[in-house]
Chain A
Amino acid sequence: MKHLRSIEELGAAGILSLLELTDHMVEINARPIPKVPALRGKNVVNIFFEDSTRTRLSFETAAKRLSADVMTFSVGTSSVNKGESLRDTIETVQAMGVDAFVIRHKSSGVPWQISNWTDASVINAGDGWHQHPTQALLDCYTIRQALGRKGGFEGLRIAIVGDIKHSRVARSDVQAFAALGAHVTLVAPPTLLPPSIEGWPVETSQDLDSLVGKVDVLYLLRMQRERMGEALIPSLREYTDRFGLTTDRARRLGDSTLVMHPGPMNRGVEIAVDPSELPGNVIIQQVANGVAVRMAVLFQLLGQGDSLA
């Protein structure tokens, strides 16, 4: 494996083997000194053309725990502001010696484009509405860990609720959950579903109440107000009434129902209760597992040599 740009590139076997490798990384992170020399001398460059706190810090922490050198490129203070093209930027950074690029960009497909211009590995940290594979992997790991599902998600019922249309997390999660055998239902108003979900391995519903209490995992997406140029919902309050996790719905959740969210949360919108009071809340575990999963991805791409590709 040279790049990680989408969940499709991995397939079910690739996902499962990365989750196995993540077990090792979780153990490393639990050591008194959570740092190993596995990627000593490797250079990882984070290039984030879009805002991010947790993903950027998570990749940075992951690379450092494996002893790689990390450069973080903030587009706001870079020559991109002087009009440098994406290709020139990548080739300039590449010339300094880079083993992996971690890329976030507002346009879909940029990681593929970049992998044509560089010999380094390319990791997609989110491209437009398209893919966010490491988020899907950490979500899979969190479910696997919380529900003891090492072999896969056969028979598991997962509802993904909210702004599916603008969500790269949803696209990657659907592929990953379905690849592992889960039954996925998308819950959203029609305006927040993609124009076509033909070929997606999912069902859709507009009735969250009929699903609450019947699903094993309730995955809430963030309302992406920054991506909404048009009026897609009548009001946030009405959205919360129909699609948010309200006190009433929280009461009807089973104790073992996992509640997940990719962050950052809009409290009072998609989640109108204090998540820390929910027995199945694993939102913080998602963040912790994010570091371990990204360590596994970096190690898989940079640490094992070409013979295992």
Chain B
Amino acid sequence: MSQTNSDSALPDGGVFHVRSTVLSADDIRRAITRIAHEIIEHNRGLDGVVIVGLQRGGTWIANRLGEAIATIEPLANVPVGSLDASFHRDDFGLRPVVPGSVSDIPVHLDGATVVLVDDVLFTGRTVRAALEALNDYGRPRSVQLAVIVDRGHRELPIRPDYVGKNLPTRRDEDVRVSPEGVVIGDHT
């Protein structure tokens, strides 16, 4: 994660070339704080709200969102969990299961308001898989989606409720999100 601001080697043998930084670490911090306020405002409080980060890119963001919410509403107790949607994906073979990314849902989700959190919203296929995986844990009253970057190119009818930044991209570009910032680059 800490390498995202410079060129880095990728597991498939390719290299990621950074072209530009679109959000700084401070921008991300402010976006997370703003989204925390929006979640509270939109749900008129935090009753039944559960934050669920998608393994693996969304988990640190979910944790930060949980901290930001706790700062704004110290009396609310908002559970934060993580969800591995690997076994619900439609593209096995393209995306191997990542070790250590086991789901951790701390509460039963019947009647909960789940805020799914991910780093980048792209085709929407991960979110589709996550919506299906969530049903294994109960029937939430509603599910909302928060992302740091919406880069377009949706292949499914899915839209985010909370967005850090809308970022027009080319399909073949790479977008990387880390606590240090958001970078856009090419994958060779």
Which A residues form the contact surface with B (CB < 8 A)? 17, 20-21, 23-24, 27-28, 31-38, 66, 299, 303-308
Contacts and interface: CB of A to CB of B under 8 A. Distances in A.
A20 B100 contact: yes
Given A31-B137, A36-B133, A299-B87, A20 B96 contact: no
A38 B88 contact: yes
Interface in B123-174: 132-133, 135-138
Contacts of B103: 24, 27
A203 B100 CA distance: 35
Contacts of B97: 21, 24, 299, 304
A23 B100 CA distance: 8
Contacts of A24: 84, 86-87, 97, 101-103
A305 B93 contact: yes
Given A24-B97, A307-B94, 15 more contacts: A24-B86, A24-B103, A31-B105, A31-B136, A32-B136, A33-B135, A33-B136, A34-B136, A35-B136, A36-B87, A36-B136, A38-B86, A299-B87, A304-B96, A305-B93
Interface residues of B, number: 23
Given A24-B102, A37-B88, A308 B93 contact: yes
Interface in B101-117: 101-105, 108
Nearest to A295: B87
Given A24-B102, A27-B102, A32-B108, A305 B92 contact: yes
Contacts of B84: 24, 27
Interface of B: 84, 86-88, 92-94, 96-97, 99-105, 108, 132-133, 135-138
Among A17, A24, A304, A305: residue with most chain B CB under 10 A: A24
A66 B97 CA distance: 14
Contacts of B96: 304, 308
A247 to B, nearest CB: 40
Contacts of B105: 31
B48 to A, nearest CB: 17
A267 to B, nearest CB: 36
A307 B102 contact: no
Contact of A32 (B88, B94, B138): B138
9 contacts: A17-B99, A20-B99, A21-B99, A28-B87, A31-B136, A33-B137, A38-B87, A303-B87, A305-B92
